[in-house]
Amino acid sequence: MSDDVLRENTAKWYVIHTYSGHENKVKANMEAMVQNRHMEDVILDIQVPMEEYVEEKDGREKLKERKLFPSYVLVKMIMNDETWYLVRNTRGVTGFVGPGSKPVPLSDGEVLALGVADKKEFFGGFEVGESVKVKDGPFEDFVGVIDAMSYDKGKVDVIISMFGRDTKVELSFNQIVKI
């Protein structure tokens, strides 16, 4: 497994609380600090989730954006003392969301529900027709081809050759790796 894939798999999304109205400033400051300290390999993404809405004014409809979660910023990072310190000491940050001083990462379901990760990217960027190797479960070490994917279920259908016949098996995305 390459370093990029390993980093991507160990990094988690965390929620950071900020002063009201400082979300974009916090994002900009944090991105600058990450770049200055060459920490792009441990702090991978910083987002302020936005939603579009239509505002009607003077009989005209105008498409606008607003923050989905005011006073919160989402950060995808590998948690260690250095990254924790960088986030906590960014101007405008009041702290991580979690009990006490221990940040709690978002679950995979929460990340998908928030829409901060592209489903295709979230599940490893697999494509229908791509060859994969099963890394876990009863079909471990079998090689097959992706037949179908269900992002909502977190499942993938893989055609593997067993006893000279093609057999479709349903697996989780975390049970397969690209060849």
Task: Render 20-40 in DSSP notation, one character per residue.
Answer: TT-HHHHHHHHHHHHHHTT-T
| Greater pLDDT, 69 or 9 | 69
Q: 64: helix, coil or strand?
A: strand
Q: How far apart are CA 52 and CA 57, in angstroms?
A: 16
Contact 49, 138 (CB under 8 A): no
Angle, to 10 degrees, between the axis of helix 81-88 and the axis of helix 23-36? 140
**24: confidence class by pLDDT, cuts 50, 70, 90:** very high
Task: State pLDDT tens for residues 51-107.
Answer: 888 999 888 998 888 888 899 999 999 999 999 999 999 999 999 998 876 799 988
| Greater pLDDT, 105 or 9 | 105
pTM exceeds 0.95: no
